[in-house]
Chains A and B, each alone.
Chain A
Amino acid sequence: MAQKGLELQSVTIALEGRVLVALSRSVAPGDVLTLMGPSGSGKSSLLAYIGGFLDPVFSASGKVMIGGCDLTNLPTEDRHAGILFQDPLLFPHMTVGGNLAFAIPASIKGREERRNRVEEALEGVGLAGLAGRDPATLSGGQKARVALARVLLSSPRMLLLDEPFSRLDTELRQQVRELVFAKARDSRLPVVLVTHDEDDAAAAGGDVVRVGSQ
């Protein structure tokens, strides 16, 4: 089986003619590519470009490939790029279980089967039995875990992390970070991490690219 690595081929992102980011890199399954740089440097835009949700005010070029398959011209929903933002962004109008079930691909049929997957996913992040809860009633750490479980349930091909730990306090931050990287390794997903935090970069252990530094 071919390696399902993520490959960025001369990806360039520009705003009003000014080039913000230009890079080529490949990220092997289970590896983390870390992008660091000041705000406004274009690191989040790069993530958005990979995910396919870049704001049209930016102009961008270059190829995004995964496992030899070209994603560049696919819409976001066909890329299967799981995203975690700074905030957990659980859908406020769905229960925890509803959020998770929403993520399971429609190809998995049967109410029972889908419900089991939800339960398994919750167990996997240490939140067994919380399926019926309103997400607004969870703690910050719990929400972050649900967000992780949700993204993993959608069978992504890669993970895009946009400073997902920055809102958590130090202790929680370490726990959640380890959990995320462990899950990514287990599922052999290439990960692109955008962060301000040197500790995040060190914990990620992969390549570090500094964006926007002269």
Chain B
Amino acid sequence: MLTRLAPSLAMLLLAGPILLGLTGTLLPAFGYLPALGGMHPTGEYLARLLQEPAIFHSALMSFAAGLITAAVSLTVVMLFVGGWAGTRLFSRVLHLVSPLLSVPHAAAAFGLAFLVAPSGMIARFISPELTGWTRPPDVLILHDAMGLTMMAGLVIKEIPFLFLVTLAALPQIRLAETRALAASLGYGRVAGFLFGLWPQLYPQIRLAVFAVVAFSSSVVDVATILGPTSPAPLAVRLLGWMNDPDLSMRYLASAGAMLQLIVTAAALGAWTLVERICAALRDSFAAAGKRLRRDHAIRIAAFAAMTLSATVVIAGLGTLAVWSVAGLWQFPHALPKDFTLKSWIAAGPRILSPLTTTLVVAFFSTLLAVALTLLCLAREDEKGRKVRRGTMLLFYLPLLVPQAAFLFGLQLFFILTNSAASIVALVFAHFIFVMPYVFLSLSDPWRAFDRRYDAIAAGLGKGAWVRLLRVRLPMLTRAILTAAAVGFAVSIGQYLPTVLIGAGRLTTITSEAVALASGGNRRVIGVYAFLQMVLPALGFLVATLVPALLFRRFRAMRV
């Protein structure tokens, strides 16, 4: 009964808010918002939007950020997997990169900012010896007008994501055999991979790549921390209008959200064009029999790019940690003169409430997502195993529609029902983004479970619930807790849902941290961003330790 309802419930809880939210954004965009007295449809706000200064510049930047971030991250991942899959170095890099998936975007962005700013760690390390700088140089690195630093901040987070998604798809292709075959025909490693395997691999990760395009073209937190300011990318400006004390600005914000929807759709459309061009190029190279035998440089470059991106995140997080305990730290010293817990003690009392909200919301949204995922997967078993494309699309939907486009409307809905800024509404809003990741990370191990165990238990006379609780769930403990840790990390990283649905009254570590960005107090930012990074890590620690302790006597239950 419960399992039969689960898929419909998932559909309702994921697609429902998106449709409701889109409607709630669309109507005010055309002037219809009875709560504020807007009764008649009008094109006035769309016209006003188009007259906003540099609005096309903002839109173009968002569009470009989506395409460039996806192109760069995917290229690095593709060439690295092609050049190194199956080597020992590959698994080393995997261990380096995979934990980075859990780092919230904002924390990674702060880390990058602390590294590359004119007074950042890199400048300190090379000054004054190499540069002669005794004070930070006056160059615009953060918030550069082209948005390069912002895109870099996105790339270092999207690389681990695409890398892990690609890895999950790898077992479904015949890597070793195809490589041997391609090599016997005289093709280099990378060429063999691109011609022989990538065409099979790409369709399986395509939705994830789309998610990267959509996210990067509509991101708010990373853009606030690293992005250009005059003008800012579209989504950042939208949020500004949304938070304007003048309520009539909501019309403009909603009209802007519609533009955001168009920009993201255009970026996705352009991406499919890029796909076609690249495929045609690949096919013509393959047809011409280009062997690319000397691909050493490509392989080294891909490895370097991969390691560099991971190193940047790790070094950035380290810098954040140091800043949070830094005493006096003058430029160009590489380390603070003294260390102090003053920043932590000062922030302590103020952190307690956002910290509680963060944990409560992350816990419950994850719990809900894990429970619903398990029920959906159990239902899939009952019906016979067929993963329909439609199901996958449903789970990717919240990652493909720009957040602003439906969260504005959803916020309106919560305000109208008097439930904005309630924990329940916030849990629910986070759930929309947690669920896809939990489902994606749990479905593979669930489907890989040997169903003969289930048949045996049934043959022993055990009913469905006993089988689930005594056999399947215990055997999948590690996978379930890992999926939960992923969900927990996703919830902790959420910025826009927190700001909009929390309506400024419920704040989390992430929303507080991003709010501190403009203030530029590095010690306080260090404290918040450090917490942002530690909380997901704690989740993964629990996911590793608990099964290890529970099953310490059972050898086959170890990894």
A-side residues, CB < 8 A to B, are: 48, 51-53, 55-57, 75-83, 85, 87, 89, 91-95, 102-103, 105, 134-137, 150-151, 154, 156, 160
- Alpha-carbon gap, A135 to B556, bound state (A): 8
Are A52 and B456 closer than 8 Å at their CB atoms?
no
Are A83 and B555 closer than 8 Å at their CB atoms?
no
A92 cross-chain contacts in B, Cβ below 8 A: 475, 554, 556-557
Rounded to whole Å, the gap between the CB of A93 and the closest CB of chain B is 5
- Alpha-carbon gap, A105 to B460, bound state (A): 8
Residue of A nearest to B383 (CB): A56
Rounded to whole Å, the gap between the CB of B246 and the closest CB of chain A is 58
B458 cross-chain contacts in A, Cβ below 8 A: 51-53, 75-77
Are A91 and B475 closer than 8 Å at their CB atoms?
yes
B467 cross-chain contacts in A, Cβ below 8 A: 77
- Is B450's CB within 8 Å of the partner chain A? yes
Are A156 and B554 closer than 8 Å at their CB atoms?
no
- Is B57's CB within 8 Å of the partner chain A? no
- Alpha-carbon gap, A134 to B557, bound state (A): 10
Residue of B nearest to A81 (CB): B459
Residue of A56, A87, A135, A156 ringed by the most chain B CB atoms within 10 A: A56
Q: Which of A77, A93, A94 contacts B462 (CB 8 A)?
A: A77
What class of interface size applies to chain B in its complex with A?
20 to 34
Are A51 and B459 closer than 8 Å at their CB atoms?
yes
Taking A77-B461, A150-B460 as contacts, is the C-beta distance between A134 and B384 under 8 angstroms? no
B459 cross-chain contacts in A, Cβ below 8 A: 51, 76, 79-83, 151, 154, 156, 160
12 A-B pairs besides A48-B455, A136-B556 with CB distance below 8 A are: A56-B382, A75-B458, A78-B461, A79-B459, A82-B459, A83-B455, A83-B456, A92-B475, A93-B474, A93-B477, A93-B554, A102-B460
Are A134 and B555 closer than 8 Å at their CB atoms?
yes
Contact with A along B356-399 (1 / 0, CB 8 A): 00000000000000000000000000111100000000000000
4 cross-chain pairs, A with B, having the tightest CB-CB distances, nearest first: A56-B384, A76-B458, A92-B556, A136-B555
B454 cross-chain contacts in A, Cβ below 8 A: 53
- Alpha-carbon gap, A87 to B451, bound state (A): 12
B474 cross-chain contacts in A, Cβ below 8 A: 93
Rounded to whole Å, the gap between the CB of A205 and the closest CB of chain B is 24
Residue of B nearest to A158 (CB): B459
Rounded to whole Å, the gap between the CB of B366 and the closest CB of chain A is 23
Taking A105-B461, A136-B554 as contacts, is the C-beta distance between A93 and B475 under 8 angstroms? yes
Residue of A78, A91, A103, A160 ringed by the most chain B CB atoms within 10 A: A91
- Is B285's CB within 8 Å of the partner chain A? no
- Is B95's CB within 8 Å of the partner chain A? no
- Alpha-carbon gap, A200 to B451, bound state (A): 25
- Alpha-carbon gap, A79 to B455, bound state (A): 12
Rounded to whole Å, the gap between the CB of A48 and the closest CB of chain B is 7
Taking A93-B474, A105-B461 as contacts, is the C-beta distance between A53 and B455 under 8 angstroms? yes
Taking A51-B455, A53-B455, A92-B554 as contacts, is the C-beta distance between A80 and B461 under 8 angstroms? yes
- Is B125's CB within 8 Å of the partner chain A? no
Residue of B383, B477, B554 ringed by the most chain A CB atoms within 10 A: B554
Residue of A nearest to B382 (CB): A56
- Alpha-carbon gap, A95 to B551, bound state (A): 11
- Is B40's CB within 8 Å of the partner chain A? no
- Is B553's CB within 8 Å of the partner chain A? yes
- Alpha-carbon gap, A182 to B458, bound state (A): 24
Rounded to whole Å, the gap between the CB of B229 and the closest CB of chain A is 55
Residue of A nearest to B558 (CB): A136
- Is B452's CB within 8 Å of the partner chain A? yes
B551 cross-chain contacts in A, Cβ below 8 A: 93
Rounded to whole Å, the gap between the CB of A62 and the closest CB of chain B is 20
Taking A57-B384, A92-B475 as contacts, is the C-beta distance between A134 and B554 under 8 angstroms? yes
Residue of B nearest to A84 (CB): B456
A160 cross-chain contacts in B, Cβ below 8 A: 459
Taking A92-B557, A103-B460 as contacts, is the C-beta distance between A87 and B475 under 8 angstroms? no
- Alpha-carbon gap, A151 to B450, bound state (A): 18
Interface of B: prevailing SS? helix
Rounded to whole Å, the gap between the CB of A139 and the closest CB of chain B is 14
Rounded to whole Å, the gap between the CB of A186 and the closest CB of chain B is 19
A87 cross-chain contacts in B, Cβ below 8 A: 452
Residue of B384, B452, B461, B477 ringed by the most chain A CB atoms within 10 A: B461
Taking A56-B383, A93-B551, A137-B555 as contacts, is the C-beta distance between A77 and B463 under 8 angstroms? yes
- Alpha-carbon gap, A136 to B467, bound state (A): 21
- Alpha-carbon gap, A80 to B457, bound state (A): 10
B556 cross-chain contacts in A, Cβ below 8 A: 92, 134-136
- Alpha-carbon gap, A135 to B554, bound state (A): 8
Q: Which of A77, A93, A105 contacts B557 (CB 8 A)?
A: A93
B460 cross-chain contacts in A, Cβ below 8 A: 82, 102-103, 150-151, 154
A134 cross-chain contacts in B, Cβ below 8 A: 553-556
- Alpha-carbon gap, A197 to B464, bound state (A): 34
Contact with A along B453-489 (1 / 0, CB 8 A): 1111111111110010011001101000000000000
Rounded to whole Å, the gap between the CB of B180 and the closest CB of chain A is 27
Residue of B nearest to A92 (CB): B556
Are A154 and B557 closer than 8 Å at their CB atoms?
no
A154 cross-chain contacts in B, Cβ below 8 A: 459-461
Name 17 A/B residue pairs within 8 A (Cβ), A-sorted: A48-B455, A51-B459, A53-B451, A55-B384, A76-B455, A76-B459, A77-B467, A78-B461, A83-B459, A93-B474, A93-B557, A102-B460, A102-B470, A134-B553, A136-B554, A137-B555, A156-B459
Rounded to whole Å, the gap between the CB of B547 and the closest CB of chain A is 10
A150 cross-chain contacts in B, Cβ below 8 A: 460
Are B555 and A89 closer than 8 Å at their CB atoms?
no
Rounded to whole Å, the gap between the CB of A125 and the closest CB of chain B is 16
Q: Which of A91, A105, A135 contacts B453 (CB 8 A)?
A: A91
- Alpha-carbon gap, A168 to B462, bound state (A): 28
- Alpha-carbon gap, A137 to B450, bound state (A): 20
- Alpha-carbon gap, A51 to B557, bound state (A): 28
- Alpha-carbon gap, A75 to B453, bound state (A): 16
Rounded to whole Å, the gap between the CB of B480 and the closest CB of chain A is 13
A77 cross-chain contacts in B, Cβ below 8 A: 458, 461-464, 467
Taking A77-B462, A80-B461, A105-B461 as contacts, is the C-beta distance between A89 and B554 under 8 angstroms? no
A91 cross-chain contacts in B, Cβ below 8 A: 453, 471, 475
- Alpha-carbon gap, A89 to B470, bound state (A): 15
A93 cross-chain contacts in B, Cβ below 8 A: 474-475, 477, 551, 554, 557
Rounded to whole Å, the gap between the CB of A88 and the closest CB of chain B is 10
- Alpha-carbon gap, A156 to B553, bound state (A): 30
Rounded to whole Å, the gap between the CB of A162 and the closest CB of chain B is 8
A135 cross-chain contacts in B, Cβ below 8 A: 554, 556
